Every structure is written in structure tokens, then in C-alpha cells.
Structure 1
């Protein structure tokens, strides 16, 4: 299959002159398009969608808008501009030149990092593939598709690194990224959260708020890497990741706005009354928060990890905003507090910071997440609603690390198994909750029209009007 490398795959990696990379991509691209047809957005291949496409990393090049069929989307390969003076700024080799090729002694770990990140990108597309059938508006459907094609481009970004820097092993790993599928019993995705279902739009908004925010922090840590191609690749990915989090935060805000409007107009508070009015009650929204938050913070891994220490000391993966921190960037004499269970109570204990770097990143994520939940609460406050949302305790519903399987309430109280079973339906979405939310999901396709359970956005995409024809259904 011949590919026009100047037009079909926009890039700044000199792809048109790299015959080895061309041959690898000529093998991989047809398999990718086959995967997209089979596992991408369902029944949408002929739609012309108002999408943002990156054609360069320059400010005027990464956000070109226009209607395009998704199979024809130009999935490009972009690295942030190279800094020829960049030095290693953390770990055991501070001050040395960053690597432009994968160093032999770190090759396996680098490949593992890239494969794990790359595996999340197609996974989320697979999780969301049915949502187009129940979109609450054209505006939202377009945002779903924008998230999907950019996750696809992020997969291309990781596949480029595998093909360019890891030879035959990299090519095999790139193929395997298309062979695993979210939730597949025999060949699931690597990380647990990416095997969960995304059955409705409230779950989608929660996923893009919480789980894509995990992506922000993981990509930020990788953008500090002393392997320069990885750092430059993830820096540009972060530009697009911001939109995914916007979709989640604004989506939940609009759900809250509509619920609050109905509660205020009808003078109702009880969940059954709110549901009877055809909007999502605040208690159900809180349970969705509890679930998605707890699943997402597990993505950061065990609270103590020798791998995290190795990745840092070797210069493979830094901390969030590593270059802004004022310590020695080696951390060999630093400690950090983690939670553990002692005599039936949650206690903080100090451990070597190098081994606790997953926890450091998790805590950075939690602070960022709490700020966003505060913005959701301002929607309720402005509407005169007393109810306040919150994230549960860090130990709640954990499946990874020291806290795995420990029964803890959202307030941080350790429970017996019996107590947990008696109350978990108050804290996590029930089958009834999901069935109710699912019952509200009906496709709205008329431009400018929105489902009853969600408010319109304040502004359209790329300054277009709310009733713009975002999707041309062919």
C-alpha cells in the first residue's frame, strides 16, 4: 500500500525520507484502519464530522477545523520542537546530554513504558464505540468523535516510537496494540480501568474527566523523560489531552446545571422526584464520581514500587512538573508519606520517596481533581442547591497496592466486610442506577437540540453557533 507521506500522514519526523519507517507503517496502517472499522465508533464511518486536525506543532498548525469522514482523518506523527541544549535534569545522570536513541541498558523498560501508554489509547476508543447511538446532541457526538480520533493519533504517536527506535521487538509490540481489546476475556487491555465498560454518557463524562486526567499526569511525567523522542512526543500529546478533560468537566457541569434547574423550578430534592422529572439525581452523580475516581487512582500503580524508583533514577520517567521542583532531583535521602493499615486503622508511614513516586503522582492528580469538583459545586451553589459533591477518601474501593481490598468508607473509616456489603449501594453505582441513566439515553441529532437531562454548552466549538451542523449524516 502506497502512502503519500506529505499529505496522508502529516508529520515532522522526516517520514518521507525514512524508508525503514515507511515500510513498517505501510504494514501497520492497513491493520490500524481495519481495527478502526471493526472497533472504532460504531455505524459512523460515513459521517462527515467537524473535526480538529493537527498538521504541525506550530500554534497555527495543530488546530485545523473542517468536516471529514473519520476513516479519512489525517492521523499525524508530531514531536514538540527539539531543544538542542537539553540535558538530563533528574536521576543518576543529571547534566549529561539527553538520549536521542534508546540506550541499550534501558531499552526493555522504555519499551514497556511506551507499550503501556500506547495500550490505553485504542482501549478508550473501544470502550466508547457504542456511545454514538445515544448521543444527547450533535455537539456532544462531535466531541466524542474528536476524542476518539485524537486517541487514535496518540496511538500513532506511540507506534511511531516503537517502530523507529525498537526494531523488530517494537514492530511486534505495535501489532499487539491492535490485537488486544478492551474487556476481552482472552486478550484484555493491560490496565484494569481500560477494561471497564462505558455504557452511558454520564460514564463517558466521568471517564474523560478522571481517566483522561490520569493521562495528563502520566504524559506530563513522561514529557520529562531523558529519552528525548518520548519527551517531545508526549509534550505534544498533552496539547490534545486538554480537550478530552474539557469534554468531561464541562459535560458533568452541564448535567449538574440541568438537574439543578429542574430541582429549583419544581421545588424538589428527593432522588425519586428528580428522576421522575427525567434528569439525573445528585446522589447518583456522586456514586458515579466515587466509582470512576477510585478506579482511576488505581491506574497510578502500587504505592511502593521498585519499578517507579528504577524509572526515575534511570531518567526514564520524571515527576509531574519535575523541572519546577526545587529539590535535588535525585531523591535518595527523601521520604514520603503513604497510607497503610495498622491495628485496624489507616495510618501514614514514611517510606523512601524513590519507592513512593507512584503515590507522589497520585497525590498530584488528587489535588487537581479536587479543584475540578469544586468547580462543579459552584454550579450547584449558583443554582441555590445545598448538596455538595466530593471525591471519596483515597483508600476507598482500592484494588491496587497496600490498600487493595481494604474496606473503607468514602469518609475514610475502615469497615468490616459485613458493613461494606450493607452500605456499598449507597456509595457505588447500582444496577438500578445504571439502568435509570441508561433509560435517559436517547439519540438527539437535530442541530441545536439537546436531551432533557443535559444543559446546552455556553459556547460552540471553534466559536461556531450552538446549532451549527457539527455532523453531516450520510
Structure 2
């Protein structure tokens, strides 16, 4: 299933065979390009060394080359269709998957697609001005790669809305370009996507923690009985992996440079020496992790149970699970607060599906902490970075009405306020981070607060001219 780049909208879904749909998407395309020019990357460039998808097969699915950003070929790509794919969970387990939207699930499926679609342009908007302070051309290129792929993920959801949801779908597709991250009158749907991404440490944390949430949400939609949605998300997951790589290795490099500066100056207080102290890195972890946990929704959710039972949204790696895939008789233990104490409760497994997914995410997040702590150990430091308690700094779910410390202690509001600046980035921390954000656009050079990468992109050296600025 190679991708046809001769079309106005590159695709592998035979758009030319559905003239009405093709015209509808071509009429949406100028609005998307206008949004990109207005809300996309602010740094003017001649061209950027980007990867572009060319095939949906397992081998050689992308090619690399310098591309003018405004000429990047966004399009509609679905993974290969499986032979005789069957619904893997819920009440209709074992039946053939759907190629069209069942009428009774139309509203719910549309809502799921709209929410996923809304996150894609939001992150581009949040990162719009980051290029103005890029620590190297390598990092600037990675930012732009993330941006263009988030733009393509928007196209993926817009295609589904246009192809399967009629006038309502077309109206929702228009609205995806009308909302803007942080806009007081028309904000993005999910809270994390209205937060600022004002600096590169925030960007690495976002691509590590928040894009990882995206991985797990796409993973549940990949299990969907609605086959076009499943195949769309499977392809998106290929691209999402690079976004998390940017975050993982970005924080690797920040921690490495912090260690080097601590060793060089024999102090943990490296802020005066142009570095990011370990305690500030921990505060940024605390913030971005807790905000990303909110994206999983409430630990006890009737909506999640209904989506699963109907076959709309499965669990992470559903078909590898060793149970009956209906969960009608199963129970799940959840953390909660009762009588002023942290405790546990048992609920139906169907009601705890958001928590089940969140637990998979938490285990995955731990892998990064192990990496970063190995870097600290390699440089001879005993300190360790950690994930805060899941109840810390929560705005959504069972802990949202309570104050929990990073170490998992329930405290009163005044005690929380007294120590908040020790747990979350303070204004002084943010001011210091902003002071370090100075652009380095010379090939092979890098800002002093971050280490260079161990490898370049696609076999190219770090010194390669990944971006030609205008």
C-alpha cells in the first residue's frame, strides 16, 4: 500500500475513487494551510531535513530529505487492512469489525475522534515559538518533525470525520481549526493542551510524558471495532514513536549536562554556571507527569465501561490479555481517599478501564526514570529522579479534591501551599530556565545547558545542516 504523492492530497485510501469526499477534503485543505501559516512554527526556514511517509508496510515506510516546510505533503494514510479481522472485546467479541459507523454508536465515535483530533493541532500551537530559542539545529529539526507529524495526525482524524460522519463531521473538522491552545474564548478541549510550552525543558517533558499519553490513547483506539479508526491509529503510532524519542533523549542530554556542570564546579547549585539543577528537573517532571495523568480521566468511569462494552475503545494490547475480554465478572483495585486517609477500594474492572490504561502508562514512564538515574550513577551521583505519587497535583479524578505530596502523604491546603514551590516549578525556576533559552543556529554548535546527542538523524552527524534558515 504505497502512498500516492501525485494527488493534491497524498493518500493510500483511493480518494480519487470518491470524488465527493475528495472535493470536501480539498476544500478543507486551504483552511488547514492558513492555520499552519498562522499558528504553525514561527521561525522562517528555507527547508528542513524531514522524514516523509511513503509506504505503510513494515519496511522502508519513510524517506528523508530537505523539504520546504510550507510544501510538506500532509495526507491521509491508513495501515494495511487485516484479513478477516474480528472484534476482540466487548459484547460483540468475535464478530467482524465494522467498515461503516453503526448508527447507535455514531455520536460516541465522533466524540472520540474529535477529542483525539483536537490534541494534534494544539501541541503545534503550544510549540509555535520554541524554534526561536532552539539549542541546536539538530533540536530545531526534531521540533519541526514533531510539528509536521502532528499536522498529519490532524489530517488523519479529519479524514475520518469527513468520510464517515456527514455534515456533523465536516462541521467538527472546521471547529478543529477554530479552537486554539490557551484561547480564553475557544480553548482546546483537554486541559493539558492549553498549558504553555514556553521553553525546551518543557518541550522535552511534554514529548516524554504527554506524547506518551497520546501513545496509549491511540493504542486503545487501535483496538476499535471501527476498522478505519483502528488502521488510522496504527499508522499514527509509527510516527508517535519519534516524538517520544525526542523527549526521552532530550531529558537524557539535559541530565548529562547537569552532571558535567556539577562535576566541573563541584556543586549542585549549577544555575549560576548556566545549567539546570537536578531539583528543577525534578519539579518539571512532577508538573508534566501530573498534568499528563489527568488526560486519562477519572479512575472510575461509566463512559469508559460503555465504550469497551460497545467495542469502540479497547485496552492497551487487548489481544494479549489473558481474560475473557468482556470483564463483566472481574474486579479491579483502585487508590482512593476515605475518612482523610489514602486507601484502596475494589470496583468493577469495567469501571476502572481508565485506571487500567493509566497503570500501563505509569510502568512505561518508569523506563525513562531508570535511564536518567543510570546517567546520574554513571557520573558518580547517588541522587535519583522519581515519579511523584499518582495523587500529586491532580485536577481530574479521585484525588482532585485532595492535596497529596509527591511522596504520597495527604496534607492540608496550608501545608501544601507552604511547600508548593519546592515541588512544582516556581517563578524563579521558570525565570532561570527562560534565561538559558538562547538560540544556537550554527551547525555543530549547541547551547551550554544541554549535551549534544550521541547520534544524528538517519545516519547524519550532529554537525549536519539539518535546517536552512530563511
Aligned to 1:435, which of 426, 431, 437?
431
Per the alignment, residue 176 of structure 2 pairs with: 177
Find the counterpart in structure 1 of residue 273 from structure 2.
277
Aligned to 2:18: 18
Choose from 446, 454, 459 the match for 2:442.
446
- Contact 1:206-1:289 within 8 A present in 2 as well: yes
Tell me if the contact between 1:54 and 1:61 (Cα under 8 Å) persists in the aligned partners: no
Corresponding residue number in structure 2 for 1:75: 74
Provide the secondary structure at the position in 2 that maps to 1:346.
strand
CA-to-partner distance for each residue in 1:390-443, whole Å, 9 max, x for gaps?
000000011101111310100110000110011111000011100100000000
Which whole-Å deviations, capped at 9, do the CAs of 1:294-352 have from their partners, x for residues lacking one?
00000000111111001000000000000100100000111111121112111110111
Shift of 1:59: 3.8
Residue 154 in structure 1 maps to residue 150 in structure 2 = no
Q: How many residues get paired?
A: 467
- Structure 1 residue 407 and structure 2 residue 407: aligned? no
Paired position in structure 1 for 2:330: 334
Could you say which residue in structure 2 is the equivalent of 1:130? 129
Paired position in structure 1 for 2:94: 95
Q: Cα offset for 1:114? A: 0.3
Output the aligned Cα RMSD. 1.0
Match of 2:415 in 1: 419
1:299 maps to 295
Aligned residue number for residue 238 of structure 2: 239
Distance 1:337 1:215 in 2: 24
Task: Note the C-alpha offset of 1:61.
Answer: 4.7
- After the TM superposition, which of the residue ranges 8-17 and 46-55 deviates more from structure 2? 8-17
Q: Answer yes or no: is the 8 Å Cα contact 2:134–2:438 preserved in 1.
A: yes
- Structure 2 matches for 1:391-402, cutoff 5 A? 391-402=387-398
Contact 1:203 1:288 in 2 (8 A): yes
Show the counterpart of 2:50.
51
Tell me which residue corresponds to 1:251.
250
**2:9 touches 2:26 (CA, 8 Å); kept in 1?**
no
Contact in 1 for aligned 2:389/2:406 (Cα 8 Å) = yes
Deviations 1:168-226 (A, max 9, x none): 11100000000000000000000000000000000000000000000000001110001
SS in 2 for 1:348: strand
The runs of 5 or more residues in structure 1 that have no matched partner are none
Shift of 1:5: 6.6
Conserved in 1, the CA contact under 8 Å of 2:178 and 2:186? yes
Q: Tell me how far apart the structure 2 counterparts of residues 11 and 376 of structure 1 sit (CA, whole Å).
A: 40
Mapped to 1, the partners of 2:26 and 2:455 lie a distance apart of 41
- Which position in structure 1 is the counterpart of 2:466? 470
Q: Does 1:31 align with 2:27?
A: no
Q: CA deviation at 1:47?
A: 2.8
Aligned-partner Cα distance in 1 for 2:328–2:423: 40
Residue 115 (structure 2) aligns with: 116
Q: Higher mean Cα deviation, 53-62 or 295-304?
A: 53-62
In the alignment, is the contact (CA less than 8 A) between 2:97 and 2:227 conserved in 1? Answer: yes
Query: Equivalent residue for 2:228?
Result: 229
Moved more, 398-407 or 116-125: 398-407
Per the alignment, in what secondary structure is the counterpart of residue 143 of structure 1?
Answer: helix
Check the 8 A contact 1:397/1:405 in 2, yes or no: no
Give a deviation string over 1:199-256, Cα, whole Å, max 9, x none. Answer: 0000000000000000000001110001000000000100000000000010000000
Offset, 1:268: 1.4
